[in-house]
Copies of this chain bind each other. A is one copy, B any other.
Amino acid sequence: MCEHNPGSMFQNRKAAILGSGVAMGGRLVTAEEIDRLCGLRVGWTARNVGVLTRRFVTEGESASSMGAEAVRRALEAAGLGLADIDGVICASGIMQQPIPSTSALILNELGSDTAGLTSFDINSTCLSFLVAWDMASCLIHMGRFDRLVIVSSEVASPGLNWREPESAGLIADGAAAVVVGRPSRATEGAAVHASLLKTYAERAHLVEIRGGGSSLPATEHDGTNTSDFQFSMGGREVFRETMAHLPDFFEELFVNARFSWGDVDLMIPHQASPSSMRIVRRRLGIPRDKFFMTVERSGNAVAASIPLAMHEAIESGRMRRGMKVLLSGTSAGLSIGALLMTY
């Protein structure tokens, strides 16, 4: 087996997060409600999954409506308007509809002031935001774009399988957006120092929604094969595979970046699950106060989970200008990704 080195050769891209905003599903769902939906004894989800609350969308909410709201709030936080950006990249793991791209649907929600903006989607399931920010930081550094909005908006709840409570009890609906661009005086020093993204696709079918695309079209759903169109996760195997790669992965990232773990002020991981996150934190020897964890209160909002957590870290003052921040996570694929930045 050959081991590739996609490298992170290009260091210190001058690109800053200028503002962030979020929009959550309208309905708070407790672990007890998940217990009922799954037909389990009250207390099962809280004890075995560990996610106590999360939000689901309600009637009338969609990935594009939440996404548009998050974009508006991120622009407001950055003190900018639609006229100040070059485009919108949607970085979600779950599409709103097969055609067109969710980015176009979000621009449609934002209205006619978006006419002429660039838009496209980037998808690496739960790592979509991280990959989009990795790529966008390069595009901004070299001047392909001046300013972009990256938005992750996930409506995951309709695809949950209540007979698989280990996954159904984790997932949340929500959206987060960031405005990114060349650092200004206020964000001087902001940069992306290094990034790494590796896929181990022998495990591509461990986490999946098998039906709904071209290989098992939605039109073949007939009521007897519903679970083929729902989320399925071989959680333990994914975790075992991930842990096997993690130490070498981070060593490569840090060597490339000429960073050490001690340089990291704050790690914002993908909010995968409470138990897996705790094990990763201990295995990597990261102090609790440097490891930002919201999953028990907020669940796993797929690709929106990293920017949702980052927004909360910014708002609460945990993530401050000048800090060295490590974003990282895993996704179906199986992919592992990380990005080292100065906020």
Contacts and interface: CB of A to CB of B under 8 A. Distances in A.
Contact of A82 (B2, B105, B138, B220): B2
B216 A97 contact: yes
A257 to B, nearest CB: 14
Given A218-B221, A229-B218, A207 B4 contact: no
Interface in A209-242: 209-223, 226, 229-231
A5 interface: yes
Contact of A123 (B120, B201, B226): B120
A121 B144 CA distance: 20
A267 to B, nearest CB: 21
A298 to B, nearest CB: 19
Nearest to A128: B120
A114 interface: yes
B201 A158 contact: no
Interface string A1-28: 1111111111000000000000000000
15 contacts: A2-B82, A5-B86, A6-B145, A9-B146, A62-B215, A94-B99, A97-B215, A99-B332, A100-B333, A101-B332, A104-B332, A115-B200, A118-B199, A119-B199, A119-B201
